[in-house]
C-alpha cells in the first residue's frame, strides 16, 4: 500500500481521454487523434521497455488494431489506457516470438532482490523512469517485473488494471512492481560506483 507509483500526470488526462474516445467511437477522427496524443507517449515507453528499438513499429501495429476495434471498447479514460496496453502487449509478444528473443534473466537477479534498499531510492527510480536509459535498465529485469513496472509507472495503470492486462492477481503484480523498482533503484544508485559488483546494488544512499 502507498508506494506512490501512480503517475498523476498520466491520470490527470483521463477525463479528457474518456470524452475523446466517446467522440471517436461516433466517428470523430479529430477526437481519435486527441486520444492518440494522450495515450501514445506512455504506450511507446511501455513498448520500448519490452521490444526496444522496434517499439515504433509495434505501436503502429497496435494502433491499427485499436482503430479497427474501437467500436467494441466500453469504458472510461483509465479503461482505455488499460485496453490499449493489452493490445500493445499482445503485439509486442507476437513480435518477440517472431524474433525469438528471450527475456534476459539470471539467477543473480533473485539474490540482488533480497538485498535491503533505502525506501527513498524508489522515488529516484520513478523520477528517472521516463528516460531512455531507465527503459534500457527495465529491459534487463525479469519479464514479470519489467512489465509490472512499465504498466504501473509508465502507462499509469493502477494495480487491478495492470493485473488485468497481465492476466495475473493484483497482489502478484504489486509484488513484481515492488521488486522491479527495488532492483532499478539499486542499479541507478550503484551505477556510478561499479559495473562489475552486483553485490553493491541496493546499498547506495
Name the helix (H) or strand (E) containing 190: helix 170-190
- Alpha-carbon torsion (181, 145, 84, 61), positive or negative: positive
- Alpha-carbon torsion (131, 196, 144, 149), positive or negative: negative
In CATH, 12-103+129-193 is 1.10.10.10:
yes
In Å, how far are 10, 46, 58, 91, 185 from 82, measured between CA atoms? 12, 12, 17, 14, 26
Using the structure block, give the residue that is written with the C-alpha cell 528516460.
Answer: 131
CA atoms lying within 13 Å on the CB side of residue 151: 35
| Exposure class string for 162-197: b at 16+ Cβ within 10 A, else e | bbbbbebeeeebbebbbbbbbbbbbbbbbeeeeeee
CA pair distance 43, 38, nearest whole angstrom: 10
Q: Residue 189's pLDDT is what?
A: 72
Of 16-25, 32-41, 120-129, the poorest mean pLDDT is in 120-129
Confidence of residue 196 (pLDDT cuts 50, 70, 90): very low
Query: Which of 56, 16, 46, 50 has the alpha carbon at shortest distance from 33?
Result: 16
Confidence of residue 24 (pLDDT cuts 50, 70, 90): very high
Find the length of the chain.
Answer: 205
The cell numbers describing 198, all together, are: 552486483
Interval 143-189: pLDDT, tens: 899 999 999 888 889 889 999 999 999 999 999 999 998 888 887 77
Interval 98-107: pLDDT, tens: 887 454 443 3
Amino acid at each position: 500500500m502507498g508506494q506512490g507509483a501512480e503517475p498523476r500526470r498520466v491520470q490527470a488526462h483521463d477525463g479528457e481521454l474518456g470524452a475523446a474516445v466517446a467522440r471517436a467511437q461516433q466517428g470523430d477522427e479529430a477526437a481519435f487523434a486527441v486520444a492518440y496524443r494522450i495515450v501514445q507517449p506512455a504506450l511507446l515507453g511501455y513498448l520500448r521497455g519490452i521490444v526496444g528499438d522496434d517499439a515504433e513499429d509495434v505501436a503502429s501495429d497496435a494502433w491499427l488494431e485499436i482503430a479497427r476495434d474501437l467500436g467494441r471498447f466500453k469504458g472510461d479514460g483509465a479503461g482505455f489506457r488499460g485496453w490499449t496496453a493489452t493490445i500493445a502487449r499482445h503485439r509486442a509478444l507476437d513480435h518477440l516470438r517472431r524474433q525469438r528473443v528471450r527475456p534476459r534473466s539470471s539467477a543473480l537477479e533473485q539474490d540482488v532482490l533480497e538485498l535491503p534498499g533505502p525506501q527513498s531510492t524508489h522515488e529516484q527510480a520513478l523520477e528517472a523512469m521516463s528516460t531512455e536509459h531507465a527503459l534500457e535498465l527495465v529491459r534487463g529485469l525479469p519479464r514479470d517485473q519489467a512489465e509490472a513496472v512499465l504498466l504501473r509507472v509508465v502507462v499509469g495503470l493502477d494495480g487491478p488494471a495492470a493485473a488485468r492486462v497481465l492476466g495475473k492477481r493484483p497482489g502478484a503484480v504489486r509484488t513484481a512492481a515492488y521488486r522491479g523498482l527495488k532492483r532499478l533503484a539499486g542499479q541507478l544508485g550503484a551505477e556510478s560506483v561499479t559495473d562489475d559488483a552486483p553485490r553493491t546494488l541496493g546499498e547506495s544512499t
